Structures are given as C-alpha cells and as structure tokens.
Amino acid sequence: MEFSNHISFSLLFFTILLSFASNGVVEARKGVISPISHLISESLYNSLFLHKDDNACPAKNFYPYNAFIEATKCFPKFGNTGDLITRKREIAAFLAQISHETTGGWATAPDGPYAWGLCFKEEINPQSNYCDSTNTQWPCFPGKSYFGRGPIQLSWNYNYGPAGKALGFDGLRNPEIVSNNSVIAFKTGLWFWMTEQRPKPSCHDVMVGKYKPTAADLAANRTAGYGLVTNIINGGLECGRPDDARVNSRIGFFKRYAQLFNVDTGPNLDCANQLPFN
C-alpha cells in the first residue's frame, strides 16, 4: 500500500512537471514578452541620462526610470521584437531620438554633449500655438496650444488628438498633461514611435526590420536605418541636406547609447540623401 501510494504520488508529480514543461514550450512558441527592465536596468538608464536631474535642467525629476518602464507596458512590442541585438538597438534608438528632442547639452558640456538628454519637458519659446486649423478631424480647442511637450516633443493638434484617444486622455482639451504627468509623457513618445502615420512607416517597424519601402520611398532613397527614423520624426526640416547639425546630434546620441547597450548602430545613420516625406 505504501509502495502504491508512492508510485501514485510520483506519477502525479511527473504529470505536473510535464504540464509545466508543455506550457513553457507553448509560451515560448507564442513569444513570451519579457519586461523592458531585463534589457535596460535603472543603472544603465541613469548612465545614459547623466544630467537629467541637474538643477540646470527644467525637467529635473520629471523623467524617472520607473515612469519609462511603466509607459512601455502599454506597448509590449517595443523592445521585444526580433533578436536580442535588434531589441537593444531599438531601445537605444528611441532613447537617442528623445534625447536630441530634449537635449540640454552643448559642445563643451560636462561629460560631452550627448550626456544631457531629457533636460526639457516643454518647447522653449514656441513660435506659434501649433494649431492646424485646416484639420477638421482634430480641431483645436479655444485657448489651447499644441507646442512641443514630453520626450518626443509632441506637437500639433493632429498629433495631440489621436495620441490622447489612443492613450486615454483628452489631448485637444488638455494638452498640458503631457508635461505634467511623467508616465503619460513617455507614453506619447512611445505612441509616436510605434504608430504608422501613412505615408510614413512607424519608427518601430524601421528599427526592427519590418519596413517595406514603396515605389515612392525607393525613388526618394528612403533606405532603412536610423536616418529614416529621423526622417519620420522631422525630415521636412532636417533631411535632404548634407551635414545637418540636428541630424548629427541625433546620431551622436545614438552612437553613445549603442555603445552602452553593447550593440552596433546598423547602417544608414543619416538622411542627407533622402527626400522627406510629403
């Protein structure tokens, strides 16, 4: 009797182990999403943004590591698509782009110009209220301004409106929340990064190798790489011209971050020979 019970218990235990193993295989086949924190620790994050909490930075204490990690939970494919190198490179590319958008660095800055990302949370001295009155789908709300806010410097009513709809806030009536709520700020940056806005592909698709150029893209020499991401973000002002200082700044951040992530940058870093999107 004791022997029989022992066998029954062993069979039960073995069955449970098989169940766990089987589930593990299934989950692996599905592609289990691992937390971004596995790829970027708080110490690495802080080493990227050495001066974001300096007194000289208007965004002091606005961009904590935990807010970034929390925001990524809304976009499970970010940093979780492709092999390990691709995943790390995408994170480095995103952080490099938002660093240029919010940089407080200068040529002779302590630790170099590319150690001063996330220094600003609002555009300095905006030249307009960034209201495209011809856009009737996302009409501007009276008295509101849609100047650059957050890590990607979200701008224009046609971005605030859909970003708010996707993320659960009223972007047209309450654009200020992007510079008042750290998690929402990071979410808007990730929303812009992950969202295709035709004819532009998403920055995410470009960085993970899913970009498929159209005939117009091929004619415009819009080749895959970090330079195309710059074209998506601000190509109308920065691309199609040689040795643009803003493009060089974006590249400088990316090179530094890629090195800290221990990955290469990949090809086509600039967009000097690309025509901007219409």
Catalytic center residues? 101
Report the Cα 9 to chain-centroid distance in Å.
51
Report the Cα 19 to chain-centroid distance in Å.
38
10 Å Cβ neighbour count for 230?
A: 27
**Amino acid identity for residue 181 in this structure:** N
Burial-class residue 53 by CB neighbours within 10 Å (0-12, 13-18, 19+).
Answer: middle
Q: How far apart are CA 205 and CA 208, in angstroms?
A: 5
Q: Are 78 and 86 in contact (CB under 8 A)?
A: no
The helix/strand/coil state of 112 is: coil
Q: What are phi and psi of 149, to 5 degrees?
A: -140, 155
Q: Are 91 and 237 in contact (CB under 8 A)?
A: no
The helix/strand/coil state of 149 is: strand
Residue 19 vs residues 5, 12, 13, 24, 144: alpha-carbon distances, Å: 21, 11, 10, 8, 57
10 Å Cβ neighbour count for 47?
A: 12
DSSP for 184-229, written as a single string = HHHHHHHHHHH--BTTB--HHHHHTT-----HHHHHTT--SSHHHH
> Tokens 């501007």 correspond to what residue?
140
